[in-house]
Amino acid sequence: MSQKIVKNRFHLVREGRTQILADPQFLKWLHKLGFEKVGEIFEKTQLDPSRGGRQGLRVFCPDGRHDHRFVVRHYAHGGLLRRLLGDRFFLGSRPFREMMITEEIRKRGIPTVHVVAALCHRGWGPFYRGELITEEIPGARDVVSLLFDFGKAPSKREHLLRRETVRHAGRAVRLMHDRGVYHGDLNLKNILAQTANRHDPGVFIIDFDRSKIRKSLSTRHRMRNLLRLNRSVEKWNTKGAGISYTDKARFFQAYADGDSQIVHTMRRHLKGARIRAR
């Protein structure tokens, strides 16, 4: 196993035909637990069907601490490419790029996951398969599963939690945009909420594959991100998520934070989106 330090303090490790970009603290932790190779962790993972992802997500806690788990996300194509290539990618290293960009986003103060390792398994020719390993956020669930649990008649506690989660999500997305981050796939599944404190739920934005960081984000890019999120809302509403006009209004109010220009721009773009949908 060879190892060298690369940009942003990460270590590049080679295990056979697998390249691993890893947080050195994660490597030390595995070594203390008796792991000789990062690849050994996959023998201890378990599929968690309650989690999203095209092929599901696997979790593991090799030290027996269920309050300190790690999540493994396997990369796979969507749409037509999924039938043609499945989980094989051509050239590049998407897991490495996502790890680097997520670390930069964390440095900018945007609430997100801590990526501890990214893996690229080199196969035939220029093709590879990839995984991303992140620390699990304790008690966090994606907004979609949360909404379905609330149902059509939420209790008083659930109603308060729903209201505050929507508001905190609006503030989190605004913070992300203010700090120059354009999310490559902003949808409800990529927004997580910690529900222990119904008055102050923690909200996290995840999955920054194909995302971009700029010095500042234009109004056009902000609206494009928000319209993508709105399409996700409409999609899940057709499946019974029950997201109301009031929920949307709370989100956009929190996002605008009193900025009348943003309110006007959002109304104009949403109106145009409704007309196009019809």
Domain at 197, CATH number: 1.10.510.10
Q: Is the pLDDT of residue 63 over 80?
A: no
Match 């900025």 to its residue by tokens.
259
Q: Is the pLDDT of residue 50 over 90?
A: no
Tokens at 268, concatenated: 């104009």
Active centre residues (catalytic)? 185
Q: How confident is the model at residue 247 (pLDDT cuts 50, 70, 90)?
A: very high
Whether the CB-CB separation of 198 and 164 falls below 8 Å is answered with: yes
Mean pLDDT of 119-123: 89
Residue 6 makes CB contacts below 8 A (sequence gap 6+) with 12, 21
pLDDT in tens, 122-164: 888 889 999 999 999 988 999 999 988 887 667 888 889 999 9
User: CA–CA separation, 8 vs 3, rounded Å?
Assistant: 15
Instruction: Give the lowest-confidence range in 72-81, 113-122, 206-215.
Output: 72-81
Looking at every residue in the chain, the average pLDDT score rounds to 86
Q: Are 94 and 159 part of one and the same domain?
A: no
Q: How confident is the model at residue 273 (pLDDT cuts 50, 70, 90)?
A: low
Q: Are 161 and 259 part of one and the same domain?
A: yes
User: CA–CA separation, 182 vs 258, rounded Å?
Assistant: 22
The pTM assigned to this predicted structure is 0.88
In order of 58, 91, 134, 203, the CA distances from 67 in angstroms are 16, 37, 14, 19
Instruction: Give the lowest-confidence range in 6-15, 58-67, 151-160, 170-179.
Output: 58-67
Domain count, the chain: 2
Q: How confident is the model at residue 55 (pLDDT cuts 50, 70, 90)?
A: low
User: CA–CA separation, 261 vs 117, rounded Å?
Assistant: 41
Q: Which of 88, 103, 135 is the last residue of a domain?
A: 135
Mean pLDDT of 90-95: 87
User: CA–CA separation, 108 vs 176, rounded Å?
Assistant: 9
Residue 79: predicted pLDDT: 67
> How many H helices and E strands in the chain?
8, 14
Match 């700029």 to its residue by tokens.
214
User: CA–CA separation, 167 vs 254, rounded Å?
Assistant: 5
Residue 106: predicted pLDDT: 95
User: CA–CA separation, 143 vs 149, rounded Å?
Assistant: 10
Q: Are 160 and 215 part of one and the same domain?
A: yes
Residue 229: predicted pLDDT: 95
pLDDT in tens, 158-186: 889 999 999 999 999 999 999 999 999 99
Q: Residue 163: name the closest of 98, 253, 85 by CA.
A: 253
Residue 222 makes CB contacts below 8 A (sequence gap 6+) with 177, 262
Match 């909420």 to its residue by tokens.
193
Residue 1: predicted pLDDT: 43
Q: Are 18 and 128 part of one and the same domain?
A: yes
Q: Which of 101, 118, 135 is the last residue of a domain?
A: 135
Q: Is the pLDDT of residue 227 over 80?
A: yes
Q: State which residues form the domain around 179.
A: 140-277
Helix axes 143-150, 156-178, angle to 10 degrees: 160
Q: Which of 75, 109, 135 is the last residue of a domain?
A: 135
Q: Is the pLDDT of residue 54 over 60?
A: no
Residue 155 makes CB contacts below 8 A (sequence gap 6+) with none
Angle at 225 between CA 224 and CA 229, to 5 degrees: 115
Q: Are 67 and 147 part of one and the same domain?
A: no
Residue 42: predicted pLDDT: 81
Q: Are 57 and 182 part of one and the same domain?
A: no
Match 């194509």 to its residue by tokens.
77
Q: Percentage of the chain with pLDDT > 90? A: 50
Q: C-alpha 14: how far from its chain's center?
A: 26
